[in-house]
Amino acid sequence: MVAGRMLNVLDNYNRKLLGVEINFSLSAVRVVQVLTCLVQYHSRPAQLCTGNKPEFISLRLSK
């Protein structure tokens, strides 16, 4: 069994799944790329709720 990472982006207001990214590793750079694409298609959220994994507590994501 091979372990991997999965990024699920949900809209908590209407429970809509906005995006899924699956890979063997997810760097902060990749998370930012996925979120940037989603913001272009949808809109920028008023609030972002994340987990405490290293790719989410990076300084790149806080910008």
Structure confidence by residue, pLDDT tens digits, 12-45: 888 999 999 999 988 888 888 999 999 999 888 8
pLDDT at 33: 92
pLDDT at 12: 86
| Higher-confidence position of 21 and 62 | 21
* Domains of the chain by residue range: 5-62
pLDDT at 45: 83
Task: Name the nearest CA neighbour of 42 among 21, 11, 20.
Answer: 11
35's CB contacts (< 8 A; 6+ apart) are 9
pTM of the entire predicted model: 0.74
